[in-house]
Amino acid sequence: MDCIFCKIANGEIPSTTLYEDNDFKVIFDANPGNIGHSLVICKHHYADIFEMPEELTAKGFATAKKIAGAVKKATNCDGVNVIQNNGEAAGQTVFHFHIHVLPRFNNDSVDIKFGGIEAEAEKVTEIVEKIKKNL
Ligand code: 5GP
Ligand code: ZN
Q: What is the DSSP string of 110-129?
A: -------S---HHHHHHHHH
Does any ligand 1 atom lie closer than 6 A to the CB of residue 81?
A: no
Does any ligand 1 atom lie closer than 6 A to the CB of residue 93?
A: yes
Distance 46 CA to ligand 2 centre (A): 7
Q: Please confirm, yes or no, whether 98 is among the known catalytic residues.
A: yes
Distance 34 CA to ligand 1 centre (A): 13
Q: What is the pLDDT of residues 67-115, one digit of tens each?
A: 999 999 999 999 999 999 999 999 999 999 999 999 999 999 999 999 9
Specify the pLDDT at position 81: 98
Report the nearest atom of ligand 1 relative to the CA of 95: 3
Q: What is the DSSP letter of 106?
A: T
**Ligand at shortest distance from the CA of 93:** 1
Report the nearest atom of ligand 1 relative to the CA of 33: 10
Using a pLDDT cut of 90, give the percent of the chain over it.
97
Q: What is the pLDDT of residues 25-79, one digit of tens each?
A: 999 999 999 999 999 999 999 999 999 999 999 999 999 999 999 999 999 999 9
In the chain, the amino acid numbered 85 is N
Residue 1 has pLDDT above 90, yes or no: no
User: Which of 37, 44, 45, 98 is an active site residue?
Assistant: 98
Cα–Cα separations (whole angstroms), residue 109 to 33, 90, 112: 8, 20, 10
Q: What is the CA radius of gyration of the chain?
A: 17
